[in-house]
């Protein structure tokens, strides 16, 4: 994989959107997408997308349960009911009612013991469970952002990530900023319809308010997703990135791909009658993993487009290193060969005799004396 050099404009400033459109028109959209897909593939994008998807799924489930438990703990049980109804609406399979029951129930009541009221013990255990769930979700999402950094580095041709402390500190900060914006966008776009219906059923906010919410959730959700993806593109790779407007091209493509892929996953789950029957109570978890995988692929494909666009501006049209003999090892990484081809061996050095030198021969005849002279 050819590394993408850091490029700027003639004044030394960061590249902007007008530069991106100029380069895209010059090389052609088809060529750009073809080379970006090659960069994604040889940068091991699918493996990094799967790793990101696993951590994302591990963050979503405890976050939903802990968030509902937190609402119950502070007395906002109606919020817990909204979350539970939304989970039922977006989850395939009747078995996901079990998850909804867990979400809506809140902290479990414990039997009373001598000297300690049952309500107090239940409240303490519930608070610990909520804190543990929120901590687990935060750590899992931080790990997902760190996995995204590794994927973006490989696609850009950077072989080493940041040192561990810097890497995970930055990932935690991105989780609180870009991760929060991405969560808002995901909820509004993916679960906005069921969420609005649940809020209407619980709070009775009226048809006018529900209509306004259904209209506004799309632009607000898309803007939140675009902002989150652009920030991730800017601060995840270990390199100096172009301006946000330049990266917005790849981020916009990511959002479009993500919308199309999410729609395909939802359509597949809806029309496939065997999906819920095959996975049973795990149908919701399997759908979540499938959706998280296509989300990771869309993110890293957008990164590949932004990387290849910058590489093309620097004059690097082929994202791969030259491999003339097609042995899987680039020519510049091949060990040096001796001069004279494969058949020529190393130059032989004279071998010194081991042991005492032979005694000098004394001339014994006239021939020897003549030869010696």
Q: 101 CB contacts (<8 Å, ≥6 apart)?
A: 84
User: In which band, very low, low, confident or very high, does the pLDDT at 84 lie, cut at 50, 70 and 90?
Assistant: low
What is the pLDDT at residue 110? 42
Q: pLDDT tens digit string along 266-304?
A: 888 878 777 777 887 778 888 889 999 999 999 999 999
pLDDT of 170 above 80:
yes
Residues 169, 58 contacting (CB under 8 angstroms)? no
Alpha helix positions (H), 93-117: 97-105
Q: What is the pTM of this model?
A: 0.77
Mean pLDDT check: name the lowest of 106-115, 141-150, 283-292, 321-330.
Answer: 106-115
Q: How confident is the model at residue 104 (pLDDT cuts 50, 70, 90)?
A: low
Is the pLDDT reported for residue 167 higher than 70?
yes
Binned at pLDDT 50, 70 and 90, residue 127 comes out as confident
- The DSSP element (H or E) to which 135 belongs, if any, is helix 118-156
- Mean pLDDT over residues 253-263, rounded? 91
User: Stretch 96-104: mean pLDDT, rounded?
Assistant: 52
Distance of CA 236 to the CA centre of its chain: 10
Asked if pLDDT for residue 350 goes beyond 60, the answer is no
Cα 52 to Cα 141: distance, rounded to the nearest angstrom: 9
Mean pLDDT comparison of 56-70, 128-142, 238-252, 291-305, highest-scoring range: 291-305
Q: Give the range among 24-33, 118-127, 169-178, 339-348 with minimum mean pLDDT.
A: 339-348
Tens digits of per-residue pLDDT, 182-220?
999 988 898 888 888 777 777 777 788 888 888 999 999
| Strands, E assignment, 92-220 | none
CB atoms within 10 A of CB 338: 11
Burial class (CB in 10 A: 0-12, 13-18, 19+), 293: buried
pLDDT exceeds cutoff 90 at 340:
no
pLDDT of 331 higher than 80: no
pLDDT of residue 211: 87
């Amino acid at each position: 994989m050819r590394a993408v050099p850091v490029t700027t404009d003639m004044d030394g400033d960061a590249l902007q959107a007008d530069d991106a459109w100029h380069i895209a028109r010059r090389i052609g959209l088809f060529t750009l997408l073809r080379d970006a897909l090659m960069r994604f593939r040889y940068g091991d994008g699918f493996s990094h997308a799967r790793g990101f998807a696993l951590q994302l799924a591990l963050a979503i489930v405890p976050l939903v349960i802990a968030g509902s438990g937190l609402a119950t703990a502070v007395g906002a049980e109606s919020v817990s009911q909204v979350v539970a109804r939304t989970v039922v609406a977006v989850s395939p399979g009747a078995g996901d009612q079990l998850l909804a029951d867990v979400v809506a129930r809140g902290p479990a009541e414990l039997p009373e013991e001598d000297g300690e009221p049952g309500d107090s013990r239940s409240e303490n255990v519930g608070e610990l469970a909520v804190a543990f769930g929120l901590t687990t979700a935060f750590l899992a999402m931080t790990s997902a952002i760190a996995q995204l950094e590794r994927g973006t580095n490989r696609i850009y041709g950077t072989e080493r990530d940041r040192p561990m402390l810097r890497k995970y500190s930055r990932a935690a900060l991105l989780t609180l900023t870009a991760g929060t914006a991405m969560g808002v966008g995901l909820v509004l776009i993916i679960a906005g319809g069921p969420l609005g219906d649940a809020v209407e059923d619980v709070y009775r906010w009226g048809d006018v308010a529900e209509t306004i919410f259904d209209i506004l959730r799309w632009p607000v959700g898309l803007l939140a997703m675009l902002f989150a993806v652009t920030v991730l593109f800017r601060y995840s790779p270990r390199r100096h990135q172009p301006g946000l407007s330049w990266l917005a091209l790849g981020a916009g493509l990511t959002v479009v791909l993500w919308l199309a892929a999410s729609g395909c996953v939802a359509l597949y789950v809806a029309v496939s009658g065997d999906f819920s029957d095959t996975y049973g109570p795990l149908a919701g978890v399997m759908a979540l993993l499938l959706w998280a995988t296509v989300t990771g692929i869309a993110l890293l494909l957008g990164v590949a487009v932004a990387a290849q666009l910058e590489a093309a501006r620097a004059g690097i049209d082929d994202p791969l290193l030259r491999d003339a003999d097609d042995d899987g090892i680039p020519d510049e990484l091949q060990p040096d060969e001796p001069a004279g081809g494969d058949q020529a061996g190393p130059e032989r050095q004279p071998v010194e005799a081991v042991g005492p030198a032979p005694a000098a021969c004394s001339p014994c005849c006239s021939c020897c004396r003549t030869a010696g002279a």
